[in-house]
A and B are shown apart, each in its own frame.
Chain A
Amino acid sequence: MPEIHSSYVGRNFSSGVTFLAALAVVLAATNASAQAPSWRVASGEIAVVCPLTVGGSFEAKTDSLSGELGVDASQPTKLSGELSVDLKTLDTGIGLRNTHMRENYLEVGRGEGFERAVLGDIVLGSDVATASGATTFTATLLVHGVKKPVTGTARITRAGDDVRVDATFPIRLAEFGVPDPRYLGVGVKDQVQVKVKFGSRR
């Protein structure tokens, strides 16, 4: 039976601990990765409900929503990544309204920061990994070249690996530097409602 040298034991023990520690880290990381909800937008829609000054409202819609969200390792309620929408595709069903909205108010022709609206820095009211049902959230919204915090509500529905999110939040156009929308006596009120719907697969 070979003699077991204490120093050998000590060296082997040290290596074993290091190995186990490394394995634990890898396993932990792997486990975390398996649980982290990486939500790539498979299909989505944005609707902006614009109340009119004369009563009633209209919706500007687009399905040009893209982006990927993942859990932020540093904060379980925070989603890394961002959602963005091509504002040139927003459609109200009326050509004149589209032209005014895109060119005169959103000024999509001004380039970066104006062509797309970007929602990022999303923090849910509950842990991302387990969030389900109604929750609140905060985020930052970049639109019309201005980035501002927004607050809203969301409903998260899970079915297996599929996740569906319906979120809504109000914004004030003036806060984003959008000119007061008005045409021949008919205008849009300052506060509009943004509705975001998307489905994703983890």
Chain B
Amino acid sequence: MRATCVMTAAVVAVVLGTSRSADAEPRFLSKQYTRCTTCHISPTGGGLLSAYGRSLSHRELSTTGAPMPSHGEMDPKPGEESFLWGALGESLGPVQLGVDLRPSYLHYSFLDVSTDRNLLMTADVQAAVKVNNWVFYGQIGRELETDSRTFQPKHVLDSNEYWGGYQPAEGIGFRAGRFLPAYGIRFSDHTSYNRMLLGLAQYDQVYAVEVSHTRGRYLTQVSLGPGRAESVIDDDGRAAFTATGRFQVDFGSRTSLATSGLFRAESDDEPALGSAGVAFGFAPASRLSTWTQVDRLFRDGSDSNAWVIANETSFEVYRGIWAVVTPQARLGGGAAVPDLLRFGVGTVLLPRTHFNVNLHYYRDRNRTTDITTQIFLAQLHLYL
């Protein structure tokens, strides 16, 4: 019985750690998109798509997307790319809505144990109101949790992201609420080492105030707040003042560099910790983009500060068919922090507007324990 509980808990942990949520798509650097806000409402990417982002999925990214609009058709009527296929027409006004559903199949093997699961990883409703650069954003969805008493998985309704603020296209903006702070490059896979190992995974949103400044090819984002939102809510002893900073400069339409820093003060249960890093994106061709992020982690009281390196290289084989390779590593953390190596390959298929199929295989090796974990994830991603 106990073994079953432990296995169930492990599977839940894997599920929590493998869903590809709220995709931000840095691979579209190859399409000359260096900023999240072209396609997403959130300035840190992911979540609700903007009208432009929806249109791009319909017109350009999906294999069987719509043909080009006719001459003069600058603001096409809501159609397949719109919320609920445009059934509501233009009745929503400044309100933008999205539904994110991800039925998934997961295969996981660890030592001599392997297991399969079919599950609905994500079922979210996202909404935003945007009026004269004032934006109010919220998300609510079904979350998978492990019951602390029975170790059984359970679903709860919760909201991970909600904020409001002034978000002009250029100049100074701000927002306050709960959100993932701006740091590095946000790969769509939140288990990427540059997200998960830096405390920027799926449920690592912070309560904070973010001030941003954008002008031309420069973007600066700074956030300050009481720390990780779940820790603040649960009072789990890990909530502490958290500050982040990110500075991005675009060297061209296909080359971008972002430097970032994160500091989390000492909490009841943890020493002060943080990270500093550089992310570099380069798209040498119209179908190829590669992002590499290197971070140095530090922890107060530790002599050995680990390095985290993550690369994601994507190639568009054919319109709407992407091949992805992602080598990642955490190294040099000393005896207390195991060296980890990951090799991931996958394909992202976009056969139809907002209908994506993600197939990914990860091989994670813990060099300290010499244990290898293999994960295969097949996910249908519906965005309505």
* B38: contacting residue among A54, A59, A104, CB under 8 A: A54
State whether A95 and B52 are in contact (beta carbons under 8 Å apart), knowing that A54-B35, A56-B34, A58-B253 are contacts in the complex.
Answer: no
Asked if residues B74 and A56 are in contact (CB atoms below 8 Å), the reply is no
| B107: interface (CB < 8 Å) | no
| A10: interface (CB < 8 Å) | no
Asked if residues A57 and B253 are in contact (CB atoms below 8 Å), the reply is yes
Asked if residues B33 and A56 are in contact (CB atoms below 8 Å), the reply is yes
Query: Which of the segments A20-28, A63-71, A183-191 contacts the partner chain?
Result: A183-191
Name B's interface SS: loop
Cα A56 to Cα B71 in complex, Å, equals: 26
Q: Which residues of B contact A53 (CB under 8 A)?
A: 169-170
State whether A183 and B74 are in contact (beta carbons under 8 Å apart), knowing that A55-B219, A56-B253, A94-B31 are contacts in the complex.
Answer: yes
- How many B residues touch A, CB cutoff 8 Å? 32
Asked if residues B68 and A183 are in contact (CB atoms below 8 Å), the reply is no
State whether A93 and B169 are in contact (beta carbons under 8 Å apart), knowing that A49-B253, A57-B253, A183-B52 are contacts in the complex.
Answer: no
Cα A86 to Cα B252 in complex, Å, equals: 24
| B25: interface (CB < 8 Å) | no
Cα A56 to Cα B37 in complex, Å, equals: 10
Q: Which of A89-110 contact B (CB under 8 A)?
A: 92-96, 99-100, 103-104, 109
Cα A49 to Cα B250 in complex, Å, equals: 12
* B32: contacting residue among A93, A99, A184, A185, CB under 8 A: A93
State whether A186 and B217 are in contact (beta carbons under 8 Å apart), knowing that A52-B38, A99-B68, A104-B71 are contacts in the complex.
Answer: no
Asked if residues A56 and B250 are in contact (CB atoms below 8 Å), the reply is yes
- The contact string, 1 if C-beta is below 8 Å from chain A, for chain B 358-381, is 000000000000000000000000
Asked if residues A94 and B32 are in contact (CB atoms below 8 Å), the reply is yes
Asked if residues A55 and B214 are in contact (CB atoms below 8 Å), the reply is yes
State whether A96 and B217 are in contact (beta carbons under 8 Å apart), knowing that A56-B253, A183-B74 are contacts in the complex.
Answer: no
Asked if residues B60 and A184 are in contact (CB atoms below 8 Å), the reply is no
Asked if residues B31 and A55 are in contact (CB atoms below 8 Å), the reply is no
| B122: interface (CB < 8 Å) | no
Q: Which residues of B contact A58 (CB under 8 A)?
A: 32-33, 253
Asked if residues A92 and B71 are in contact (CB atoms below 8 Å), the reply is no
Q: Which residues of A contact B169 (CB under 8 A)?
A: 53-55
Asked if residues A96 and B253 are in contact (CB atoms below 8 Å), the reply is no
Asked if residues B217 and A99 are in contact (CB atoms below 8 Å), the reply is no
Asked if residues A93 and B286 are in contact (CB atoms below 8 Å), the reply is yes
Give me the interface of A with B, judged by CB distance under 8 Å: 49, 51-59, 92-96, 99-100, 103-104, 109, 182-186
A-B contact pairs, 19 of them (CB 8 A): A49-B252, A51-B216, A52-B35, A54-B37, A54-B38, A55-B169, A57-B32, A57-B34, A58-B253, A92-B32, A93-B286, A94-B56, A95-B59, A96-B59, A184-B55, A185-B50, A185-B51, A185-B52, A186-B52
